[in-house]
Each structure stands twice: as structure tokens, then as C-alpha cells.
Structure 1
Amino acid sequence: MNSPSVQAVARDGEHRFSKSLAETIEIVAGIGVAGDVHAGEKVQHLSRVRANPAQPNLRQVHLIHSELFDELGKSGFSIQPGDLGENITTRGIDLLSLGRDTLLKIGGDAVLRVTGLRNPCGQIDDFAPGLLKHVVNKTDQGIVRKAGIMTVAVSSGMVRPGDPITVESLSGLHIPLERV
């Protein structure tokens, strides 16, 4: 497997499904991606704001592994970085196997703490009909969500394509990811 790295970065200042690619994004501790609609200490996703606007934002920065795009391509989907609304597209790291509270050090200064799995909704089928069943699978063991992970910003820093990613477990315990 390749050394874990950033493949692409994206942000969007409006609530849209996909995000625009950028040359660099700024991670702001406690907030998320500067200029992104989902940045903030409190929840920013519209459905969650309607339910309880005071809840903490556990979905500040969204990461997806580019290997998912390769897998989806074999099923006839052409997915590019930013298309599924992620801020950081990675390569060479099994994001879905990380434990809750794992730290991701990206580039020189940015640090993200993993909070859980992205729970894709029906909007994903509006983007590409039939895609939802490829990123959410029901198995005998339960539901498998493949649409990336959610994180919060621990340390500020600039992130750009090519930046290395280092994984660090805080406690040594592996707490399986759940949807957030």
C-alpha cells in the first residue's frame, strides 16, 4: 500500500451536495475548513440544525478514500474528488477501519480527530442514481457504510494535495466507528 497521503482538497460556502476542488484548504482548530458551509463549533448540517442546533459539530471535516472511487468505477460510476461532498480525498489509508478518536496528522500542522462514519442519505442517489446501495450495504453483521469518515479539527494548518497523513491512536484502544 502507498504511504497515506492527500489526493485532493475541496470546500464550498453553500449547502450543495458536491464541493469545489481547491489548491489548499485551511483547517481551523475547533471549527473545521475555513470557508466551508459545515465549519463551526455547533452542528451545521441542515437536518441536524433543525433537530437541535445546540449539539456539537462532530462533522467538521469529511474525508473519503479515493480507493472507494476505484471500486465504484468497476460498477460503472464515475466519481471524482469533491463529488460526494468530502473536504479531503485520501489514498493509501483504510479510513473505515480507524477507531473513534484516532488522530490524523496532515501536512505540517493540521490534526483531525476521527468522530465516526458518514451516514449517506438519499441525496447521493440524486447525484448518481443507484449509488446509495453501493456505499451502504446490509450484511449479516449489520450495515456497512463506505462513504468516508467525519472528523473534528484539533490543530490548525494548511492542507494540500500530496501532503502526508500520519495516523496516531490516542488510547491504544480501538473503538469501532459508528455513524455520526
Structure 2
Amino acid sequence: MTGIVEAVHRSAEYTFSKAKTDSIRLIEGLGVEGDVHSGTTVRHRSRVAIDPTQPNLRQVHLIHSELHGQLGEQGFAVGPGQMGENITTRGIDILGLPTGAVLHLGATAAIRVTGLRNPCGQLNGLQAGLMKACITQDGAGNVTERRAGVMAVVVSGGEVRPGDAIVVELPGGSAEPLRPV
């Protein structure tokens, strides 16, 4: 399974959207160099408030560009980086990956998928109703799908640029579905 890096983003400050850049450097065990969410322990403010010693399973945020198209069909104008992702992908069903899948990015970088990003109310600050558009529910109101991307940790550092190939390495054994992290 292969895909492509469509865009890369980072922000040194706590902002919801992240600025597009020509490249990002992934640092093993930390995340995106220069990004506010980089570190060995949690950096998302809501998680820091609960327990700042938790391991950072959200070092890198990925969203598939196909989601932007789906949201566009629902009347939302959302582009790369606006939903806070570090890497916008194309051509891979990232939401269908199992926990532990490794994505090889460019020449040397690799990240391990840790789970789903749970859509949060900040999405509505970008556009009213966006959070609901990123969640699918059954008739009883139970969430059946979260479509706000996946989170990962860096297992091998390196430079990542738009146009870089993404090669998926599936974990051995039984596949564990993604859960929110």
C-alpha cells in the first residue's frame, strides 16, 4: 500500500490550524521539529491538564486529503493544515489502518500509527458544524466513525516534503483497530 505526502505543516504556538511549509523534520521519539506538540510527554493542553506525565502518542497528526474533498461535498471549505494536521496524505486509507502500522515517509522518516484523533469542538471554531461532519453515528447516537485523522509517533527521523512517497508496513499478527488517543 503506497500513497503520497500532499502537504506538510507545523506551528510553534498553540493554534488550531498549522502553517504550510516546504518541509518538516521528524525527530525520533519527539515529533515534528519546531511544532508545539513535539515531545516525549503529552503536549495537547487538555491532556496536560489531566496528567502531564502521560506518554505523547500524538506527536504527528495526519489527515487524508480525501477528507477535504468529502467535506467540500457537504459544503465545508477546508484545506490542508486547517484542521491542525502536520501531514496531509493522499492515496491511503489512513482511517482503515490498524494500530501499529508504520508509515515510511520519504527517504528515512518513519512513524507508527497510535490511534484516531477524536474530533473536538475546536473544529466548529473553524467552521460551524464541522465537528458533526467529522463524526458518523448510528441510530442510537453512538459514534461509529471518527474522521479527523490519525495520530502517530516518530520511530525514525528525517525530512518530509510534499511529493514524498508513503509506504505502509502493516504490523504482524492480528490487526488491532484504531481507537481514539
Question: TM-score, with normalisation over the residues of structure 2?
Answer: 0.96
Offset, 1:172 = 3.8
Amino acid at match of 1:149: V
Which residue of 2 is the match for residue 44 of structure 1?
43
For residues 19 and 168 of structure 1, the distance between their equivalents in structure 2, rounded to whole angstroms, comes to 27
Amino acid at match of 2:12: G
For residues 104 and 170 of structure 2, the distance between their equivalents in structure 1, rounded to whole angstroms, comes to 11
Q: Does 45-54 or 139-148 show the bigger shift?
A: 139-148
Q: Deviations over 1:45-96 (max 9, x none)?
A: 0000000000000000000000000000011111110000000000000000
Which residue of 1 is the match for residue 86 of structure 2?
87
State how many pairs are aligned. 179
For residues 90 and 174 of structure 1, the distance between their equivalents in structure 2, rounded to whole angstroms, comes to 22
Which residue of 1 is the match for residue 111 of structure 2?
112
Amino acid at match of 2:144: I
Amino acid at match of 2:170: S
Amino acid at match of 2:130: L
- Residues 130-145 of structure 1 mapped to structure 2, 5 A cutoff: 130-139=129-138, 142-145=143-146
For residues 12 and 126 of structure 1, the distance between their equivalents in structure 2, rounded to whole angstroms, comes to 18
Matched, 1:169 2:173: no
Offset, 1:43 = 0.2
For residues 158 and 145 of structure 1, the distance between their equivalents in structure 2, rounded to whole angstroms, comes to 29
Which residue of 2 is the match for residue 150 of structure 1?
151
Gaps of 5+ in 1: none
Which residue of 1 is the match for residue 179 of structure 2?
178
For residues 109 and 178 of structure 1, the distance between their equivalents in structure 2, rounded to whole angstroms, comes to 27
For residues 67 and 40 of structure 1, the distance between their equivalents in structure 2, rounded to whole angstroms, comes to 29
Amino acid at match of 2:127: A
Amino acid at match of 1:122: G
Offset, 1:142 = 4.0
Offset, 1:160 = 0.3
Q: SS of the counterpart of 2:163?
A: coil
Q: Percent identity?
A: 51
Gaps of 5+ in 2: none
Matched, 1:5 2:4: yes
Q: SS of the counterpart of 1:4?
A: strand
Amino acid at match of 1:168: E
Which runs of 4 or more aligned residues in structure 1 lie more than 3 Å from their structure 2 counterparts after TM superposition?
none
Q: SS of the counterpart of 2:168?
A: strand
Conserved 8 A contact 2:2-2:168: no
For residues 45 and 119 of structure 2, the distance between their equivalents in structure 1, rounded to whole angstroms, comes to 14
CA separation of 1:39/1:167 partners in 2, compared to 1, >3 Å: closer, same or farther?
A: same
Offset, 1:125 = 0.4
Offset, 1:138 = 1.0
Which residue of 2 is the match for residue 101 of structure 1?
100
Question: TM-score, with normalisation over the residues of structure 1?
Answer: 0.96
For residues 150 and 84 of structure 1, the distance between their equivalents in structure 2, rounded to whole angstroms, comes to 13
